[in-house]
Chain A
Amino acid sequence: MAVGERSAARAVPNRSPSAGLRTRWRGVRRAFAKNPIMLLGFVIFLIISLSALAAPIITFHDPVRTNIEERLEPPSADHWFGTDHLGVDVYARTIYGGRVSLFVGVSVAILVIGGGLFFGLVAGYNRKLDGPIMRVADAVMAFPTLLLALAVAAALGGSIRNIILVLAISGMPGMARLVRGQVLSLREQQFVEGAKAIGATMPRILTYHVAPNTFAAMMVMASLVFAGSIVAEAGLAFLGVGAPTFAPSWGNLIVRGRDFLGSSPWISFFPGLLLTLMVLAINVIGDGLRDALDPRLRRRL
């Protein structure tokens, strides 16, 4: 997944004090206006996300309940994406599968941002804790993401909660490193010195001065983590440690559908297509954000 990206985030350029979140959002809006591909990505992202959220309204069949009599039917008016080997509507499964993937992606991104921010700030500000935290982060990064995920999932069992946990753990070191780098460079900056001088406490400085300054990098990282988690979920399903077998997730659909590639390709084609589109959209948005928020990051992420 984001092996190359996350690790390249070791060194982060010095940043000048900024006016805060509002200007950044203005930058985001301008970026959308200027970049049509990013806009397209955003539209795709929105369509897939909204349809996943509205799944009960826009699908007409149960995504789990089997109906053997209608197994392996090709796409038709009733079953837009055909049916799978147990007669479940692939369209319903795919749309509901978006929910699982979105949930996994969003949760992992939030956990990675939260955990990365916490450990990064602590490591950046506390020299005693810096060493141990970074050693553990190094060790976690020394496991290829998927291997760590495989080992943890084998240990804790396959469930959506565990997948999220696993991917969050393996994503956190990258984020923590990034935040720590930011903190280390920012703590010497004048505006932080100034804040100290007027008697601001450390937590306050961290919250109001340092955290917002890492915003751009974090948003971009988050989009990479988001996209990476969705692909990783499919990878874990392939290795047999994904979501419960009956649960509709894109990974499960693609993996189970591969046995039918020669005879009923629709089972894995549609979820595969949707997954690719979704990840593509998120990556495109991430690229756009990166360009808009901080052109200097372009080289790092």
Chain B
Amino acid sequence: MNIAKRLRLPAAAAIAAVMLAVALACTTETVREVPVDRVVTQEVVKEVPVERVVEVEKEVVRTVEIEKPVEVIKEVVREVEVPGDTVVVEKEVVVEVEKQVVVTEEVEVEKIVYRDPRMGGTIRVTDIQKQHLDAAAPGYEANGWSNTHIKESTFQLNAQYDPRPELVESWKTSGDGLTWTFTLRDGVKFHNGDPMTAADVVGSIKRVQDHDGMISTLVKDHQDGDFDGHWTAVDRLTYEMALEKFSTFVLSSFTQPTITGQFIVPESEWSRPVTDVNNDAVGTGPFKLDQWIPGDRLIVSRYEDYQSPPGPPSWQAGRKVAFADKVEFIVVPDVAAQVAALKAGQLDVLSTPFGGDTADQMKDDPNIIIHTVRFGTARMSIWPKHSGEIFDDVRARQALRLALPSERIMTAAYGSSSYWRTCASMWTCDTFWESDVDTADYNAQDLARAKALIEEAGLVGAEVLMPVRSLPLVSDPSRIVREVLEDLGMVVIWEDLDTGAWVERVITEDKWDLFVTTTSGFKDPFIGNSVHFKKMGWIHDYADETNEMTENLDRLFSENLTRAEQKKITDQIQSVFFRDLPLVPLGEGFKNLAVRTRIKGYIPHESVPMYNLWIEDDN
């Protein structure tokens, strides 16, 4: 009985009470978001009246504002004419102007209908896990998309992948295309209140140029030695860029197709080296950072002093309006959980990649719209180690191309056939650059010829090291590749690795022979070019023996040619590519997006920014 009496000290309850106390203590510590000042919100509603936005739509339909910058160039051309004494210069210049006009003529204007835009609300969207918020430090791809809401670049791509000015207002170039002068929009302020100046642009670009594929190709690879001197801030809003060599991709190198590494940031960020990762996330964009809980969510809210670039909205370019008060970028690690949350209405948009089988599970939900976007194709390829001991033999690479069944591999990765396509061309299919040169062996599934090549190369029984990232998108197709390799008489040593371990195995230790991966593909030689071409050998810079590839690329990037002439070169590049096979393309997977019907203004593209979207009034 004694024991029983003492037990009245409710031991279990004591522990429970301690835990509850801790829980309570925590809640008092976590500061809940202070509600945004309502008065300000209402003011904004007045500032962006519905009528004005509808006007935008009319503008879009009738005129193409984009021609303006080209006119500027024309003026410049005339200025140059005065000191120039030869007619040849003038002719060259005229050609260039014509070319640029041709580009603008191709623009198809995106029709944007703002029927009933509404301010307010919070959009909840999935995001991939990011390690840091720095837009220039290695690994910025992971945070690039959410960063486009906070930060802006000098130029940005529109829906047709043409560069459009964002922070820049106008620019002009000398007749030889070597000196570029840019003028910034006035009145743009960073979220910290500092005005954005030419010095910030120069500083920001210098910070990234070392490892940004395009800018370093533009500036660094075309000359030797110190290239910092090629950027100068002339005055508060003007800066100059000096090139040593004519280049065909100047403006697009300030943009990137899905992510933007060249964000313009304040001095507090650009004055630090890239390895000194900076997580302040201050920019000039329509949203500003509220809170970042690493591994969980990034919360941004409307930046009230935002100065939008002019022009019709088109993907990442043109006018931006932050209709939503807040956007929450949430990390939901599990795809099945993402689907459940979207169906339950706890998420509004799935922006993280998901396969066709997952899309199929949401198709029948009346509250969800699935977009399968053909712009956002990911190229699935085999990367054989061309400097290794097995696949240094071109016959082994050719055998892979002959044997691998594209349809089966793509189905394993992306699901039913409406979520991918086979593409025989080296250049992304359905683009201007698509070509059928030397494509006969693609998806031939000719095991006999492949086997003969393997035997000829003496590789029967060779041990192929295959590091596989533990991602279904990669590991499922890898299983089929493994079976085919075994059918060809090779021995596959399969190794499941998480991202960090995979990088160590492949990059640092260089212990691999082949792996399957997806990249963004070759949509356009002038977007992301150096990245793709130099990294064709993945870690070993690729160059073909005859140097044909390099010569062709050089011409493409530094000669002023017509589109037809450029196409001829890209066809030649494709021919060399398929002869040498630095990588073996398998097919193209589409990008899937899922969005709740209450989100309006959603125009599917390879990624969809969360500005210019609003939440419908009901629910």
Asked if B501 and A246 make an inter-chain contact with CB atoms under 8 angstroms apart, the answer reads: no
Asked if B432 is an interface residue, CB under 8 A from chain A, the answer is: no
Does any Cβ of A come within 8 Å of B497's Cβ? Answer: yes
Nearest to B358 among chain A residues (CB) is A259
Q: A68-B408, A246-B482 are known contacts. Are A86 and B361 too (CB-CB below 8 A)?
A: no
Q: Give the number of residue pairs across the A-B interface with Cβ within 8 Å.
A: 58
Cβ < 8 Å to B, chain A residues 246-270: 246, 256, 258-263
12 contacts between A and B (CB under 8 A): A66-B408, A68-B480, A71-B411, A85-B412, A157-B496, A157-B497, A245-B468, A246-B475, A246-B482, A256-B472, A259-B358, A261-B336
| B495 at the A interface (CB under 8 A) | yes
The yes or no answer to A271 lying at the interface (CB within 8 A) is: no
- B551 contacts the other chain (Cβ, under 8 Å)? no
- Complex contacts, A256 vs chain B, CB 8 Å: 472
Of the candidates A240, A244, A263, the one whose C-beta lies within 8 Å of that of B498 is A240
> Is A245 touching B483 in the complex (CB atoms < 8 A)?
no
How would you classify the secondary structure of chain A's contact residues: helix, strand, loop or mixed? loop
Interface size counted on chain A using CB atoms at 8 A: 22
> In terms of DSSP, what is the predominant structure of the interface of chain B?
helix
| Residue A65 interfacial (CB < 8 Å) | yes
Which B residue's beta carbon lies closest to that of A245? B475
In the complex, are the beta carbons of B501 and A157 less than 8 A apart? Answer: yes
CB-based contact A258/B495 at 8 Å: no
- Min C-beta distance of B270 to chain A, whole Å: 36
Interface residues of B (CB under 8 A from A): 335-336, 339, 357-358, 360-361, 407-408, 411-412, 415, 468, 470, 472, 475-476, 479-480, 482-483, 494-498, 501
Residues A219-278 near B (CB distance < 8 A): 240-241, 244-246, 256, 258-263
In chain A, what residue has the closest Cβ to B476? A86
Interface set of A (CB-CB < 8 Å, partner B): 65-66, 68, 71-72, 85-86, 154, 157-158, 240-241, 244-246, 256, 258-263
Partner of B479, one of A71, A158, A245, A262: A245
Determine the chain B residues whose CB is within 8 A of the CB of A85 once the complex forms.
Answer: 357, 412, 415, 476
Complex Cα distance A71/B498, Å?
Answer: 27
Cα distance, A261 to B338, chains bound together (Å): 13
Given A86-B412, A157-B495, verify A259-B357 contact (CB < 8 Å): yes
A31 to chain B minimum Cβ distance, whole angstroms, is 33
A245-B470 contact in complex given A71-B411, A154-B498, A260-B357, C-beta closer than 8 Å: yes
CB <8 Å contact, A246 and B336? no
Seed contacts A85-B357, A244-B494, A261-B336; 8 additional CB < 8 Å A-B pairs = A72-B357, A85-B415, A157-B495, A240-B470, A259-B335, A259-B358, A260-B357, A263-B360
A66 touches B339 (CB 8 A): no
Choose from B360, B411, B482, B496 the contact partner of A158 (Cβ within 8 Å): B496
Name B363's closest neighbour in chain A (CB-CB). Answer: A263
What separation, in Å, do the CA atoms of A48 and B360 have in the docked complex? 34
| Cα distance, A157 to B361, chains bound together (Å) | 33
Closest 9 CB pairs of A and B: A262-B361, A68-B408, A245-B475, A68-B411, A263-B361, A158-B496, A246-B479, A240-B470, A258-B336
Name B340's closest neighbour in chain A (CB-CB).
Answer: A262
Interface centre among A66, A244, A261 (most CB of B within 10 A): A66
